[in-house]
């Protein structure tokens, strides 16, 4: 048995094992230079030689023909691709590639090839220690090169360009060749190492989820390898030992699983990264914009406070449009410096030599280290550390350091609190009035400053205070703090004569308070806050303790899958930034985009349906506070229903400050640039989500106090609304519901209709039936006095409840002879879409509604869905419950109807909402298609991390998707089902997951659960029953149980 923590090493060939890079480079240069001179002679094109930079950027590490095409594209040269059999003299991509191959083989034959001595020594050590060895290379000459180097005896598997062509493997950065090599060795990628020298190669290793991606920087490309996914970078393999590698597998992977890292500065991706690097504590969230940046094309600083809204009116084409927005409150981050009389530092106007940013998910500490060189040659090291306190929701802090590396001279530093900006985080809102803040008061004395502003319409006062401490080489300094101010902004200036090599530090302690939740003098309170905090480090210690308590309850541990582990923790982190235990003191819910940006104007949607279960099982007090946000707006929901002629409570599709409907009546199409009517407020199913969340919270927590005081009243009023909207159709003898939209927002109305809304949406009707059928059970657990009280309060009668029972048993659905549940009445009459045509034309077809609209067409005419609609029912309810509802309604479907419906709707869904993949991942697993489930889940899990929707993450994270992916890991793959009265476990873990470990609360019992491929280990805080694979087991309190299967 191996004494090492890893089982295999898979090497790239060129530049890693053998010194073939020069051979390749010379062959590429000869071929391309000859061809470029030929074009100069025959086409009159100016000759520009093929350079070493071209080699590294366009062809190194890529399959030969891909390298040819990549370089030609860089020179705007278009050639037919041809085929691999093309004659080397043919002017095709393949022809040129074959020319290069001839040149390479001639050099190899005449000169041989040399192996790197350090690599050979490592190969010898690995073989001695019984570590499996493979080679994965894009080269079609790998076998010849290895033979020429005399290394064939070391290599157990070779996946090269020849093998890739034979079995259809994708080239780097796809992980195919490395994953195939690991499979050939019988080793899981998680237990293997990839050694690569090219950026595309380390990307492939990262994408393949390997246990270690070791970057070999032989071409002075340390930073590029780090930026593209290398875990460790060395310039030669002599620099790393097997002990170092073992240490990585023992400790490094777990440490890395808690870190979100970026090792480059890419202005095009910066806003998305700012969202993902957000710090916060549920009360406020602050985007990860650098301290030195302001709002620009590349950067967008933003701080958002739960429940902080403001309404403004904008006149558009003679029409007054009122929008309620999520306010970007004053920027507390700002710290900057300048050297002598130069401009203030900006990462967008300076050479960034290196940069590393890291968010520690364990405690919310965001750190940055960068080395920059300005136009005068001044090289400066900049470090910053930033946190929002999870111990005290009002406090935040920055530790900012600057070290002049090659110069001495005068330096100026500026810290500020700035409330002069407007909301600019969503481009499509920029034509609207976005000036939400007005100055009230600003000032300061010495190291302490304050800023007081208020929102222009809601008149919420916001105070920020800051206290500075200036240090040199760790020692406090007595300096002059120059305070100046303008309306809405206060500055603190510090001048210092800097010496090369010394580290200058500014510590900034900040308090944020608002009149919305603090009824006392908030300026006095905020000043007291900063004066009574000793240091950044003290604040971090307290906050880390609070985060530790959170992770002890909410962490999910995955063995065997680095990517899933990191992203699940990232999602849990951002959920806690969006709503934490502090929220029990706030009147706010979780916005669809967290406290991370301005998309959807920070409003509350049905996304709570995906979000609340996470809090139900981990932080029930927070879940209760989110439901109380809805209860406090019950009167608005009643008024909304009454205004439209209905009874009961009709909650708005978009809710903000007070619970009125905030949905726009018009919507801007960013592709066509035109405004159109918006019927999305017809998504009345948001009330069903609230009813379901109310039931689910009570079912999981047994919080009878909440149910009797608040929840039952809200649930019954929602039932009353839907009863008033359900009309008996004399022709069918069933109840129908008109004028609604389902979760699929692509369908607002019937083709050529003058009014919005659809009839008998399947999701709506099935959930209405479920809700009406749930009422008797809920009433049965209430005390007689509380039942009598709620009946009296809302004037409810038994006759009304009996009527709901009729609707429960008699609501209408449209179902085809094949068992396909129609999304709504008339859906089957719509036209089919030519999906292949639109994929080829647009590539990104997520928002098919906008693409069709820009062509003068409407999604209402086609069978095209944004996300799961009819299928959404199975996300909420288990199949047995849906089967029972369908039976009660008198419908008989084939036994395989779920699989048929999944296949039918999946091929007609564009996944324009990231929630779509979450739902379909669960449904595919239910239907037994584990491969499809994992693909959809993986896409959903990485959707914000990879910003798969082309920039939407920049406007805020997708909280529903983050919570949904966490819950799919638990409910679908771990198989933990909480929908019955006892905890049920039926695992269907992905193959690469060796185990999953979690904690949760259910019916006042705390469980700790570990699931592997063959057993469940479970600990309960009280006596309980559990069901594992349909077998019931009895657990004793505080006694671990191990159940094998």
Q: Indicate which residues carry an active-site annotation.
A: 745
d(CA 615, CA 554): 9
What would the two tokens of residue 640 be? 């909304």
With beta carbons less than 8 A apart as the criterion, state whether 8 and 187 touch: yes
With beta carbons less than 8 A apart as the criterion, state whether 208 and 193 touch: no
d(CA 740, CA 747): 10
Rounded to the nearest 10 degrees, how much is the dihedral formed by the CA atoms of 644, 646, 652, 658? 90
SS3 of residue 285 by DSSP:
strand
Q: How many Å from the N-terminal Cα to the C-terminal Cα in the chain?
A: 27
Vertex 326 angle, CA 267 and 590, to 5°: 100
With beta carbons less than 8 A apart as the criterion, state whether 102 and 94 touch: no
| DSSP string across 205-263 | HHHTT-SEEEEE-TTS-HHHHHHTT-SEEESSGGG--HHHHHHIIIIIHHHHTTEEEE-
Cβ within 8 Å of residue 675, ≥6 positions away: 316, 317, 666, 667, 668, 669
| CA max distance for the chain | 98
d(CA 455, CA 440): 10
d(CA 775, CA 168): 57
d(CA 97, CA 101): 6
With beta carbons less than 8 A apart as the criterion, state whether 261 and 276 touch: no
Phi, psi (rounded to 5 degrees) for 691 = -65, -45
With beta carbons less than 8 A apart as the criterion, state whether 157 and 181 touch: yes
Phi, psi (rounded to 5 degrees) for 933 = -60, -45
3-state SS of 552-597 is: HHHCCEEECCHHHHHHHHHHHHHHHHHCCHHHHHCCCCCCCCCCCC
152: DSSP letter:
G
d(CA 225, CA 195): 11
Pairing of strands 212-216, 192-196: parallel
d(CA 32, CA 26): 10
Query: Which residues on adjacent β-strands are paired with residue 749?
Result: none
d(CA 548, CA 362): 7
3-state SS of 601-621 is: HHCECCCHHHHHHHHHHHCHH
Pairing of strands 8-11, 132-136: parallel
Phi, psi (rounded to 5 degrees) for 736 = -120, 155
SS3 of residue 172 by DSSP:
coil
Residue 134: closest CA among 112, 149, 117, 152: 152
Q: Which residue has the tokens 């509802």?
A: 885
d(CA 663, CA 601): 10
With beta carbons less than 8 A apart as the criterion, state whether 814 and 762 touch: yes
d(CA 69, CA 171): 13
Residue 681: closest CA among 710, 650, 649, 707: 650
55: DSSP letter:
I
Sign of the CA dihedral 640, 642, 644, 648? positive
d(CA 503, CA 801): 73
């Amino acid at each position: 048995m191996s004494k090492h923590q890893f089982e295999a090493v898979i090497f790239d060939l060129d530049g890693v094992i053998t010194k073939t890079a020069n051979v390749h480079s010379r062959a590429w240069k000869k071929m391309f230079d000859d061809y470029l001179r030929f074009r100069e002679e025959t086409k009159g094109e100016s000759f520009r030689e093929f350079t070493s930079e071209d080699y590294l950027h366009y062809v190194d590490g890529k399959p030969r023909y891909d390298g040819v095409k990549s370089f030609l594209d860089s020179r705007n040269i278009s050639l037919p691709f041809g085929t691999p059999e093309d004659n080397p003299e043919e002017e095709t991509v393949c022809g040129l590639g074959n020319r290069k191959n001839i040149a390479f083989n001639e050099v190899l034959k005449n000169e041989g090839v040399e192996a790197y001595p350090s690599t050979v020594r490592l190969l010898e050590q690995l073989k001695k220690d019984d570590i499996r060895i493979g080679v994965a290379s894009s080269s079609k000459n790998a076998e010849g090169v290895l033979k020429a180097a005399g290394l064939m005896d070391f290599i157990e598997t070779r996946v090269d360009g020849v093998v890739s062509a034979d079995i259809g493997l994708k080239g780097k950065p796809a992980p195919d060749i490395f994953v195939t090599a690991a499979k050939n060795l019988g080793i899981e990628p998680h237990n293997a190492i990839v050694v690569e020298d090219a950026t595309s190669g380390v990307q492939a290793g990262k994408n393949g989820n390997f246990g270690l991606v070791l970057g070999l920087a032989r071409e002075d490309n340390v930073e590029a390898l780090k930026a593209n996914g290398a875990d460790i970078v060395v310039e030669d393999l002599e620099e790393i030992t097997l002990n170092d590698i073992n240490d990585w597998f023992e400790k490094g992977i777990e440490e890395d699983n808690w870190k979100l890292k970026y090792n480059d500065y890419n202005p095009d991706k910066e806003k998305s990264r700012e969202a993902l690097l957000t710090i916060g504590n549920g009360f406020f969230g602050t985007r990860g914009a650098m301290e030195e940046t302001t709002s620009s094309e590349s950067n967008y600083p933003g701080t958002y406070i739960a429940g902080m809204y403001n309404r403004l009116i904008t006149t558009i084409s003679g029409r007054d449009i009122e929008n309620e927005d999520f306010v970007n409150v004053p920027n507390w981050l700002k710290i900057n410096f300048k050297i002598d009389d130069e401009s203030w530092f900006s990462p967008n106007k300076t050479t960034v030599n290196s940069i590393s940013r890291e968010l520690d998910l364990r405690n919310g500490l965001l750190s940055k280290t960068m080395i920059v060189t300005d136009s005068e040659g001044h090289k400066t090291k900049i470090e910053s550390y930033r946190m929002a306190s999870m111990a005290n929701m009002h406090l935040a802090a920055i530790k900012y350091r600057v070290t002049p590396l090659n110069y001495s001279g005068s330096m100026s530093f500026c810290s500020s609190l700035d409330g002069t900006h407007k909301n600019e985080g969503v481009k499509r809102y920029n034509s609207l009035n976005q000036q939400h803040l007005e100055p009230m008061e600003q000032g300061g004395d010495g190291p302490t400053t304050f800023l007081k502003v208020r929102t222009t319409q809601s008149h919420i006062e916001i105070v920020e205070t800051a206290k500075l401490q200036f240090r040199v080489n760790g020692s406090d300094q007595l300096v002059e703090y120059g305070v100046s101010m303008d309306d809405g902004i206060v500055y603190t200036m510090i001048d210092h004569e800097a010496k090369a090599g010394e580290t200058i530090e500014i510590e900034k302690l900040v308090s944020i308070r608002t009149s919305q939740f603090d009824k006392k003098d908030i300026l006095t309170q905020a000043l007291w806050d900063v004066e009574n905090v000793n240091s950044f480090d003290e604040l971090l210690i307290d906050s880390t303790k609070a985060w530790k308590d959170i992770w002890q309850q909410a962490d999910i541990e995955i063995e065997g899958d680095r990517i899933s582990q990191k992203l699940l923790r990232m999602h849990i982190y951002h959920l806690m930034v969006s709503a934490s235990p502090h929220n029990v003191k706030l009147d706010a819910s979780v916005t669809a985009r967290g406290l991370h940006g301005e998309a959807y104007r920070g409003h509350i949607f049905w996304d709570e349906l995906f979000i609340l279960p996470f809090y139900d099982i981990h932080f029930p007090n927070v879940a209760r506070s989110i439901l109380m946000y809805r209860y406090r707006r019950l009167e608005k929901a009643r008024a909304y229903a009454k205004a439209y002629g209905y009874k009961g409570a009709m909650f708005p599709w978009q809710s903000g400050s007070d619970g009125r409907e905030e949905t726009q009546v018009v919507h801007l199409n960013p592709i066509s640039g035109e405004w159109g009517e918006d019927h999305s407020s017809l998504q009345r199913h948001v009330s069903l989500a609230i009813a379901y969340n109310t039931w689910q919270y009570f079912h999981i927590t047994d919080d009878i106090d909440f149910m009797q005081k608040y929840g039952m009243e809200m649930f019954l009023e929602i039932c009353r609304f839907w009863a008033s909207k359900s009309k008996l159709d004399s022709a069918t003898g069933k109840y129908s519901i008109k004028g609604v939209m389902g979760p699929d927002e692509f369908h607002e109305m019937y083709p050529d209709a003058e009014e919005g809304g659809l009839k008998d949406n399947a999701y709506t009707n099935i959930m209405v039936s479920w809700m009406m059928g749930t009422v008797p059970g809920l009433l049965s657990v209430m005390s007689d006095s509380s039942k009598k009280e709620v009946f009296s309060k809302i004037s409810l009668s038994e006759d009304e409840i009996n009527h709901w029972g009729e609707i429960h048993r008699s609501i209408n659905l449209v179902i085809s002879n094949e068992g396909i549940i129609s999304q709504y009445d008339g859906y089957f009459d719509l036209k089919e879409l030519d999906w292949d045509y639109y994929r080829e034309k647009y590539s990104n077809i997520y928002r098919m509604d906008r693409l069709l609209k820009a062509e003068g067409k409407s999604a209402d005419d086609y069978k095209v869905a944004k996300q799961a609609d009819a299928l959404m029912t199975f996300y909420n309810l288990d199949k047995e419950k849906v089967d029972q509802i369908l039976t009660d309604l008198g419908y008989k479907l084939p036994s395989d109807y779920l699989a048929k419906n999944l296949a039918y709707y999946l091929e007609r869904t564009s996944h324009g909402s990231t929630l779509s993949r979450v739902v379909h991942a669960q449904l595919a697993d239910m239907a037994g298609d584990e491969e499809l489930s994992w693909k959809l889940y993986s896409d959903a899990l990485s959707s914000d991390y990879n910003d798969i929707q082309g920039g939407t993450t920049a406007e805020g994270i997708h909280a529903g998707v983050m919570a949904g992916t966490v819950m799919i890991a638990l409910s679908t793959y771990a198989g933990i089902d909480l929908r019955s009265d006892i905890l049920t476990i039926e695992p269907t873990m992905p193959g690469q997951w060796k185990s999953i470990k979690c904690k949760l609360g259910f019916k006042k019992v705390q469980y700790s659960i570990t699931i592997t491929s063959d057993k469940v280990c479970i600990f309960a805080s009280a006596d309980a029953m559990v069901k594992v694979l349909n077998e019931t087991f009895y657990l004793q309190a505080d006694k671990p149980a191990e159940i094998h299967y």
